[in-house]
Structure 1
C-alpha cells in the first residue's frame, strides 16, 4: 500500500490561495476516482475538488474556514501500489477533536442520511432550532436530508408527522420561559466574502442615496398584457427587464454612472457596454451574477438570462465569469422591498439602483383622487465620481421611462 497526496490545484489565473468551505469526506472514508472531496472558494465562486485516485482517506489538510495556499497538501489517501509519496510513508494523522470533526465530516452517501450521533451537535438554522424547541423535539432524533447532514424544515415536519410522535420528556415549551441557550456560528465561505466586500465598499466609497417615487400603473398594465399575449411562447416578464431596458437607455446620457472607479490608480473607466449585476439572494448568501451586454437585449432576452443566472446562483453552479465584470447593479427585495432602502454599492462600481415594493394607494391625479400603483427607487452613488445633480437627473430619466413605458421602445 502507498500514499497519494492531493495538493491544492491552481484553479484560476493569479489565485494564490483559496478558502476551504466544506469537506465531503473524513478520515477512514473510502473514495473512488472523480468523487468530490472538498469545496473551496475563490472570490465568490465555489469550486469542487475531485479525487484522481481510489483509496482510503488518511488525513485532511485543513479545517473548514481555513485558507490554503495553492500547492499545499489538501488530503492524503492510502492507495494500492506505490502512490506518489517518496521515502518513508508519513503516518496517518490522528483524528481531529470531536468539535472539529463536526465541521468537516459529511453524511454517508445515502438518499436519506441517518440521525447524527447523540454526542454530535445537529446542524440546523437558528429558526429551525427555535421551532424544534417550541415543539418539544430533540434535533438529534430527526433524520437530516440537507447537504452535509443539515436538518431542513421538511425534515422536522416529517418527524412531527410520524405516527406515535410524542414530545421529549420534560421538553414541553412555554414561550414565557426564559431562554439561556446560545449558538456560535463561524463566518466562513460566502458569508465571509460578503462581509469583507460590504466592509470594503462602505470603507472606501462615500455613499449617498437618492430616493424617488415612481407611478408604475401603466407599466404594470403593459407587463400584464404582454404576458397574456406572449406568455405561452416567450419568458414571463417581471418588472426587472423593463428596469434594465430603462437603465440602458438612461445611461446613454449619463455615461459617468456606467463606470468602475479604481481609486488606488485614480482612474474612472466609463463603459460603453452595460453589464448589469443582478443582486440575487441564495441560501448561502447574496450573489451578484452579471447580465452581460444588456444594451443588445430585448425584454424577453433579458428576462430569460436573468432567470438563468438566478437559477445558477441559487443552485451553486455560477462560474467566476458569471459573477464578475458588472458595470452597474440592480437590487430588489421583491415583495419585502419596504418603502426605502439604502443599497450598498458593488465596489468598484459607482452606482446601484434599488427597487422597493409596489403598493396601490390613493393619489391626487387630474383633479381627482384615484388608486395608482406606486413604487420607490432607492439608488446609491459614489459621491467621488457622481455629483448629486447627475444622480438626480439619472433617476428622473428612469422615472420618466417607467411612467411612460412607450418611451422604452423609442430609439
Structure 2
C-alpha cells in the first residue's frame, strides 16, 4: 500500500497556473486509472485531468474556483502497489497525456477571453420512487422529473406523485404551476412567490467574461455611433434568394450584412485592425477574419469566419451555421475561436432599438445590427413628389477604440455601409 501524488502537469506553453472549474471525485472516492478527476481552465483551454493510477482519493487540491500552480499537487491517491514504482510510471504517463483541449478563444464583443467551458449537457431526468402515504394501498409509482423540478417541488412541499405529468410522462415546471393553481387551498406557496436568495460563485467562463469585460472597458476609450438603415429592399432580395435556393442553406440577414462589411472595409483599414497597446502598435489586416458573437449555455463565445471577404452568401451561411453549432456543442477548435480582426454581435429579434457593444479586445471596432422594425416613411413617388409607405428599418451600431479610430472615420464607414445595404443589388455585383 502506498500513496501517489498527482501533480498538475504542464498543460500548455506559457501556462503557469489553472483554475479548478469542476471536481469529478471527492475524498474517499475510488478512482480508476484514466478516470476523470477534475476539469481545469487556463487562459487558453479547458482541460480534463485523468488519473494516471487506480486507488482511493486521500486529498484534493482545493475547491471549485481555486487557482493552482503548474507542478503543485492536484490529488493524492492511495494505491495498492509500491509507491515508488507507481509514482514513476504514473508521472511519465501524466506528462505524456496531460489532457485534451476542449476549446479556446475569445468570447464576445463585450470582452475577450481565450477560454471556453465544455458544452452544458441537457438537464438529466431523474426517477424518484413515491412511497404510499398512511392509509393508502401499498404500491409504488415512478415519477420522472429533472433535478430542478424536484428541488422546486421539495421547496414547495409538493409530493411529485400527486402531480399529473405532461403527455410524455415527465413532470415539468408547468405541471407544478397547474397543480398549485388547482390546489391553492392546500397550503402551498403561490407559484409566483419570491425565490430564496442564492449565492453563486463566479468561476470558469463567467469569471473570464467578467475579467475581460472589465479589462476592455478599463483600457479602451469606447465611443458608439448609431445609424438607421432602410432594409426593405435587402429583405425583399433575401426572400427571393431563399425562394430559389434549392438545397442551399437558408439565408438570414447576417450573411448579407457580413458581405456588405467586407466590401466596405478596404476603404477603412483603420477598422479592420488589432491594437497592441503595450507595444503601441496597430496592425491593419488585409483579410477579414470576422468574429461572430454566439450565445451558448456557458456564455457568449466568438467563433471566427476566416477570410470572410472570399466567401459568397451561401458559403457564409454554411460557415455561420457550422461555427455556431460547434460553439454551442463545445467542439470548436482553438483556431476557430481566435484571431478575429473585427466582430459582429447581434441579438436578432431581441436586438432592441440601439446597442452600445463592448469591443472584443484587442480589436478596435465591433458592429451591432439591431432589430428590424416596420414604420411609415416618406419615400419618393417617382414623379418628383413623396408618398408615405411602410418600410423595414434597422439601426446599425458601431463601437470603436477612440485611441486609434476617429469619430469621422467611424461615421463615414457606417454611411458607406448604409449605402450598400440600401442598394443590395451591389452585394451581388463583381
Instruction: Bin the TM-score by the shorter chain.
Output: 0.7 to 0.9
How many Å apart are 1:289 and its aligned residue? 1.6
Deviations 1:186-212 (A, max 9, x none): 111111111111111111111110101
Distance across 2 between alignment mates of 1:65 and 1:340: 36
Q: Which runs of 4+ in 1 moved over 6 A?
A: 139-142, 161-169
- Equivalent runs, 1:388-407 vs 2, <5 Å: 388-407=407-426
Distance across 2 between alignment mates of 1:235 and 1:31: 47
Q: Aligned residue for 1:119?
A: none
- Residue 124 to residue 280, structure 1, CA distance change in 2 (3 Å): farther
Q: Aligned residue for 2:26?
A: 26
Deviations 1:155-191 (A, max 9, x none): 643873999997997432275x7x5832211111111
1:363 aligns with 2:377: yes
Q: Which secondary structure state, in structure 2, belongs to the residue aligned with residue 380 of structure 1?
A: strand
Match of 2:231 among 182, 199, 216: 216
Q: Which secondary structure state, in structure 2, belongs to the residue aligned with residue 245 of structure 1?
A: helix
1:160 aligns with 2:176: yes
Q: Which secondary structure state, in structure 2, belongs to the residue aligned with residue 358 of structure 1?
A: strand
How many Å apart are 1:254 and its aligned residue? 0.7
How many pairs were matched up? 363
Q: Aligned residue for 2:284?
A: 270
Q: Aligned residue for 1:234?
A: 248
Q: Aligned residue for 1:2?
A: 2
Q: Aligned residue for 2:46?
A: 46
> Does the aligned pair in 2 maintain the 1:136–1:167 contact within 8 Å?
no
Deviations 1:114-172 (A, max 9, x none): 78xxxxxxx988xx89x948x97359979xxxxxxxxxxx8643873999997997432
- Equivalent runs, 1:71-90 vs 2, <5 Å: 71-83=71-83, 84-85=86-87
Q: Aligned residue for 2:115?
A: none
Q: Aligned residue for 2:360?
A: 346
Q: Aligned residue for 2:113?
A: none
Q: Aligned residue for 1:387?
A: 406
How many Å apart are 1:342 and its aligned residue? 0.5
1:377 aligns with 2:393: no
Distance across 2 between alignment mates of 1:5 and 1:50: 13
- Residue 174 to residue 31, structure 1, CA distance change in 2 (3 Å): closer
Distance across 1 between alignment mates of 2:263 and 2:46: 34
- Equivalent runs, 1:1-400 vs 2, <5 Å: 1-43=1-43, 45-83=45-83, 84-85=86-87, 112-113=125-126, 132=152, 137=156, 156-157=172-173, 160=176, 170-173=187-190, 181-230=196-245, 232-366=246-380, 367-400=386-419
Distance across 2 between alignment mates of 1:36 and 1:224: 49
Q: Which secondary structure state, in structure 2, belongs to the residue aligned with residue 247 of structure 1?
A: helix
TM-score, normalised to structure 2, is 0.76
Q: Aligned residue for 2:137?
A: none
Q: Which moved more, 1:198-207 or 1:181-190?
A: 181-190
> Does the aligned pair in 2 maintain the 1:206–1:382 contact within 8 Å?
yes
How many Å apart are 1:233 and its aligned residue? 1.7
Deviations 1:64-120 (A, max 9, x none): 11111122222223333225459xxxxxxxxxxxxxxxxxxxxxxx974578xxxxx
Q: Aligned residue for 1:92?
A: none
Structure 1 gap ranges (5+): 87-109, 116-122, 143-153
- Residue 322 to residue 228, structure 1, CA distance change in 2 (3 Å): same
- Residue 307 to residue 4, structure 1, CA distance change in 2 (3 Å): farther
Distance across 1 between alignment mates of 2:248 and 2:345: 24
- Residue 46 to residue 180, structure 1, CA distance change in 2 (3 Å): closer
Structure 2 gap ranges (5+): 89-122, 129-145, 162-169, 381-385
Q: Which secondary structure state, in structure 1, belongs to the residue aligned with residue 210 of structure 2?
A: helix
Query: Structure with the greater relative contact order (CA < 8 A, sep ≥ 6): 1 or 2?
Result: 2
Whose radius of gyration is greater, 1 or 2? 2
Q: Which secondary structure state, in structure 1, belongs to the residue aligned with residue 314 of structure 2?
A: helix
